[in-house]
A = this chain, B = another copy of it.
């Protein structure tokens, strides 16, 4: 039901402010590009974000691979995100009991809830983690940060099979006050237009994956065959000699595929 609906119409059905914001950004920037900034220096992430900021709608990071993390620096990155209008996604892949996840989200050295617009979580521990991960019902974070559920992974022989993804998608829809979308490799049968599908492992190169189980897919295939609304590009971009030109290529290919899917159902 979601795949051929206009972004404007989908925006109007959003139940989470971060999802509405994401649709606004996509429409304004004509972009459905998320870059996975898997660098080990936060200074380098900031430099990358400053250069490709205008092309992207989401920058995805792994805070726990950054050698030089500090709250001051992450707030600098947040400023770049504000200036260039993209969302900051922490790809933490929470996967513990709710009592622990709450502390991992709000506390520790990283204080993820103070800067992340989007946070990934595995539905593995059960539905109670999803509803409780941000804290109690009065927690501000429930509206300032959107949960992105990992329904399917892109790796070989991942245990996120059809039954797994189906059950978790059901929970995500019930928890639509906190869930803004999902990570997937295919569109769930009963998905909700106000949700956003993120698809990782997007890479235009001719290689099929890395040597450690990751499998790649082109932007067009991700959008047209797998239901991606947002394409996540990592090594295909950050390792390229001209990241701005590469970002523009992925932006235009991804956006063309999304427009085609919506207008030619």
- A interface majority secondary structure: loop
A128–B156 CB distance below 8 A = yes
B159 touches A97 (CB 8 A): no
A79 within 8 A of B: no
Write out the residue numbers on chain B whose beta carbons fall within 8 Å of the beta carbon of A213: 97-98, 125-129, 132
Stretch of A61-69, A222-230, A248-256 lying at the B interface:
A61-69
Contact B122 A95 (CB under 8 A): yes
A122-B124, A159-B168 known; A214 and B98 CB under 8 Å?
A: yes
Interface: A109 (CB within 8 A): yes
Q: Does A260 contact B (CB under 8 A)?
A: no
> Does A265 interact with chain B (Cβ within 8 Å)?
no
Among A40, A100, A123, the most chain B Cβ lie within 10 Å of the Cβ of A100
B residues in contact with A160, CB < 8 Å = 124
Contact between A125 and B158 (Cβ–Cβ < 8 Å)? yes
A110 at the interface (CB under 8 A from B): yes
Indicate if the CB atoms of A155 and B125 lie closer than 8 Å.
yes
A99 within 8 A of B: yes
The answer to the question of A231 belonging to the interface, with a C-beta cut-off of 8 Å to chain B, is no
A interface vs B, CB < 8 Å? Answer: 38, 40, 62-67, 69, 91, 93, 95-100, 102-104, 107-110, 122-129, 132, 153-160, 164, 167-168, 210, 212-214
